[in-house]
Copies of this chain bind each other. A is one copy, B any other.
Amino acid sequence: MTGYQNHKDDILRRLRRVEGQVRGLQRMVSEDTYCINVLTQVSATNAALQSCALALLDEHLNCCVTEAIGKGGGEAREKVTEASAAIARLVRS
């Protein structure tokens, strides 16, 4: 079971948009676009990918983590620790 089950189409749409942005970057480089303009697009792509991650994380907390906590026991703590580690990777990437 995944937390994004009910928003799968939305997540896929966002990821396809990011793919389009990355392909746009390749085109810009192929056509010798000025470095700064390429960098501006890289920043935009990064921001789009991060928004995607934040959406996934919110759904994960609302579904998987919430469910584990509802059941209680050791699994709840484990799920929170796992989520915290994912947040740390995101903050540091």
Query: Which of A's residues lie within 8 Å of B, judged by CB?
Result: 1-5, 8, 11-12, 15-16, 18-19, 22-23, 25-26, 29-30, 32-36, 38-40, 42-47, 49-50, 52-54, 56-62, 64-66, 69-70, 72, 76-77, 80-84, 86-93
* Between-chain CB contacts (< 8 Å), 17 pairs: A3-B35, A15-B26, A22-B22, A36-B60, A39-B90, A40-B86, A42-B49, A50-B91, A53-B91, A61-B61, A61-B65, A65-B69, A65-B80, A66-B69, A66-B76, A69-B69, A70-B72
Q: In the complex, what residues of B have CB within 8 A of residue A70's CB?
A: 69-70, 72
Q: In the complex, what residues of B have CB within 8 A of residue A18's CB?
A: 22
